[in-house]
Chains A and B, each alone.
Chain A
Amino acid sequence: MCMYCAMAGLQPASSDASIESSHRERNHRLTRRGFNAGLLAAGLGASSVARAADSQTIKIGTFGPFTGPAAGLGTEAKKGIEFAVAQANAKGGINGKKIQLVAYDDRANRAEAVSVVRKMIESDGVQVIVDGSVSLTSIAAAPVANDAKIPMVAAYSNAVGVVKGEDHVFRWASVADVQGYVIAHHAMRERKYKTFAVLMQDEEYGRGVVNGVEKAVEELKGKIVYKKPFAPGEREFRAIMTEIKTLGVDSVIMAGFSPSLTSAARIGYELEVFPKAQFYISCSATEINWYSGIGQYGNGTIASLEFLASTNHPFTKEFVAEYTKATGEKVVSHQAGLMYDSSRLVFDAIKRGGTKADGIWRALGETKSFMNLSGVDVKFTELREPLLPIALAGWDSASQNYKLVKFEKDEALIDPRPWYKYYK
């Protein structure tokens, strides 16, 4: 195993494959060097200097909503990849080459996402993309990358449709349904809750989480007595919480983005729905808006997280210290953390597979496991989806941080594969 693999906790599928791709990359570099020498001989100096400079960098593309209503998500994602790139470049780059980041704003707009992904492939010549956008836009952009045979890793898009059917698209986050399934299992098996109110953000992510909740509740013979959809960005939950209060449910499970989660938690506590009923929320619980908005409320709320920055693993501690120092941020947000890990995954694939799309794609496909920033080994399935352990973590108002309840590693619960049948 190479030193980098050991550092990153990575196990290549086969050492033969690594050696083969390493030879391929070496041959490729020799060929390119020969080509450059030919150009110089032909008197095309300026052009060849540019090419020589290019050959010393690896272009990695990324896109996300850096402006517009979802800018909070995209800018956090960008911080994650920028930090990963700076960190890697400070250590000498990958195989001696510096990484050059090509970043575009999609404004959380499907058409814009398609356009910028096409641009970074056709004009900028990126060989791999780390997707820093939401499910809605990732679903639109995935076929573009796939058709061009450019590997793409979706960092925090949870909808099945992002990866399903696109064999050049990989995911680092969990499938939305898995989160709901894990939450409901924890609530029913470990807390013995029977009755639930479910609040669903009415788009791909929210529907996926709630699908997981519904299947688990059905299997474990519980009962969902109340279910309401809400629009993304909704903050007014007084009427809903008032009604839930009269139902006396054991638990409220909510899937949505952090502004809605934060507002519902505050209102639920004000109306004394919580902590009488246990509040469970989906992974957006570690978006910046939760930390800035929850205030004195929310104590005991349990979130399903795809990583936890407050663990004692040495890798996590080092990362958190360096990240907070470099960015000035107090917390590692959901998007920043997942983008950081996705970037490391891509860097590792470049290290093993070379700088061309085909080699990177093959190396990504050969990745059997990878250590995330919480220090947990994450296995990959043949569907290019991770078997990502879910960190169930409770919000502690006093420290304004999450504390680990448990890492759910049961493969029967975190496996993304069973959920594919629900999506065309």
Chain B
Amino acid sequence: MTLLIQQLINAVELGSIYAMIAVGLALTYGVLRILHVAQAGIYAAGAYIGLFLYQVTGSFVLALAGSVILAGILGVLIERFVYRPMLPRPRIVALIASIGLLICFSDLFRILGGPNQLSFDIRSLNGSYGIGHLLISKADAAILGGTILIFVSLWFILQKTRLGFAVRAAAQDIETTEIMGINVSRSVSWMFFLSSAVAAFGGVMVGVLYNAVYPDMGDAIAYKGLALIVIGGFGSLTGTVIASFLLALTEVFMTTYTAVPLSREAIAMLFLVLLILIRPQGLLGKA
């Protein structure tokens, strides 16, 4: 029983990390119908910015806040100067640009920070909390707390504010939303700011969790994030979050309770292929 509960905790922790990346991708896809693969580059940029700020200031809180804000601005710049000029063109053009950006990010980090992983060791987040026989690492606990806070905030912004109303309206029909006098451009910029900030939070926390910030840290999360928004239902935020936790549960429990001689990555991909075969429209998508 202890094993089951501990693995459930592990799965929730892993699912939180997936959700932080995938939710930004779902937001972008929902409104602009762009597969924003470069979101994984922003996730890595968040980690690098956070590490740099931590080295400069010595304060983790300042580093995290600074990283979230700067990555948010980076996201806005990408939307304004890369995606927006491409919107009249077929969506494949934006996708290719996005893949190119991700590769550029990775090489830029390699040039700036070197090819090896950099240490992001926050001593106060080392160690674990023990509850009976269960153990939760402090970094994991911080990720869990942060994820809850982020999703509650996102829900509030999307459901209870004018910005959220504009984003939801734009997701249904951009032209009509504009005709109704809503500043869609500004709403989209804010949406990029928010999704990039969430990704940066994920990047910083994962960097601390594994004590590793490295150039291609966005690579694996990029293709998993894409798969998650497809499974979630093409732009459905709730579907994407559910898919993130389902994927994490599958990885953890297939690893634990089956003798499948496959790595976690291979199990994840098998799961994604199976889900797409069973439900091509995604978990909460319409057929």
Residues of A at the B interface (CB closer than 8 Å) are 67, 69, 71-72, 74-75, 202, 228-231, 233-236, 238-240, 242-243, 246, 259, 262-263, 266-267, 270-272, 288-289, 292-296
Contact A296 B10 (CB under 8 A): no
Residues on A with beta carbons closer than 8 Å to the beta carbon of B79: none
| Chain A, Cβ-Cβ closest to B117 | A289
* Binary interface encoding of chain B residues 4-37 relative to chain A, with 1 for a CB under 8 A from any of its CBs, else 0: 0011001101100000000000000000000000
Do A242 and B6 contact each other (CB < 8 Å), given the known contacts A69-B219, A234-B264?
yes
Secondary structure type dominating chain A contacts? helix
Least CB distance from A34 to B in Å reads 48
Partner of A236, one of B107, B127, B256, B264: B264
The interface residues of chain A lying within 8 Å CB-to-CB of B263 are 202, 229-231, 234
Bound form: Cα–Cα A238–B263 in Å: 14
A74, B2: Cα distance in complex, Å: 43
- Cβ contacts under 8 Å, A267 to chain B: 137
A239 with B210: CB separation less than 8 A: no
By a CB distance below 8 angstroms, the chain B residues around A230 are 263-264
Cα distance A289–B11 when bound, in Å?
A: 26
- Chain B hits for A228, CB < 8 A: 255
Q: How far is the CB of A226 from the nearest CB of chain B, in Å?
A: 10
Chain B residues in the interface with A (C-beta under 8 A)? 2-3, 6-7, 10-11, 13-14, 107, 110, 114-119, 121, 123, 126-128, 135, 137, 210-212, 214-216, 219-220, 251-252, 255-256, 261-266
User: Residue B128 contacts which of A75, A240, A270, A296 (CB distance < 8 angstroms)?
Assistant: A270
If A229-B261, A230-B264, A231-B265 touch, does A289 touch B212 (CB 8 Å cutoff)?
Answer: yes
Q: Which residues of B contact A294 (CB under 8 A)?
A: 211
B16 to chain A minimum Cβ distance, whole angstroms, is 13
Tell me the minimal C-beta distance from A105 to chain B in angstroms: 11
Closest to B128 in A: A270
B129 to chain A, nearest CB (A): 11
Across the interface, do B3 and A293 meet the contact criterion of CB distance under 8 Å? no
- Cβ-defined contact, A243 with B3, below 8 A: yes
Q: Which residues from chain B contact A263 at a C-beta distance below 8 Å?
A: 210, 212
> Across the interface, do A295 and B252 meet the contact criterion of CB distance under 8 Å?
no
Excluding A229-B261, A246-B2, 16 further A-B contacts by CB distance (< 8 Å) are: A72-B114, A228-B255, A231-B263, A231-B264, A231-B266, A234-B263, A236-B264, A238-B10, A240-B255, A242-B10, A242-B256, A270-B126, A270-B128, A289-B117, A293-B119, A293-B210
Given contacts A67-B107, A246-B3, contact A292 B14 (CB under 8 A): no
Q: Is the CB of A75 within 8 A of B115?
A: yes
Which residues of chain A come closer than 8 Å to B210, judged between CB atoms? 235, 263, 266, 293
Residues of A within 8 A of B121 (CB): 295
* 3 A-B pairs with least C-beta separation: A71-B115, A231-B263, A72-B116
Tell me how far the C-beta of A76 lies from the nearest C-beta in chain B, rounded to whole angstroms.
8
Which residues does chain B contribute within 8 Å of A270, judged by CB atoms?
A: 126-128, 135, 137
| Chain A contacts for B255, CB-based, 8 A | 228, 239-240, 243
Provide a sorted-by-A list of 20 A–B residue pairs whose CB atoms are within 8 angstroms. A71-B110, A71-B115, A72-B115, A75-B114, A231-B266, A234-B265, A236-B14, A239-B10, A239-B252, A242-B6, A243-B255, A246-B2, A270-B126, A270-B127, A270-B128, A271-B128, A289-B117, A292-B117, A292-B119, A295-B121
A75: shortest Cβ distance to chain B, in Å?
5
- For the complex formed, measure the closest distance between the CB of B54 and the CB atoms of chain A, giving whole angstroms: 14
Interface centre among B10, B11, B107 (most CB of A within 10 A): B10
Instruction: For A229, give its contact among B127, B251, B262 (CB under 8 Å).
Output: B262
Contact A69 B212 (CB under 8 A): no
Q: Tell me, rounded to whole Å, the shortest Cβ–Cβ distance linking B180 to chain A.
A: 46
From the candidates A235, A240, A272, name the one contacting B212 in the complex (CB within 8 A).
Answer: A235
Chain B residues whose CB sits within 8 angstroms of the CB of A71 once the complex forms: 110, 115, 215
Q: Is the CB of A289 within 8 A of B116?
A: yes
With beta carbons under 8 angstroms apart, the residue of B10, B110, B116, B256 that contacts A67 is B110
- Name the residue of chain B whose CB is nearest to the CB of A289: B117
With contact pairs A67-B110, A236-B264, A238-B13 given, residues A271 and B116 touching in the complex (Cβ less than 8 Å):
no
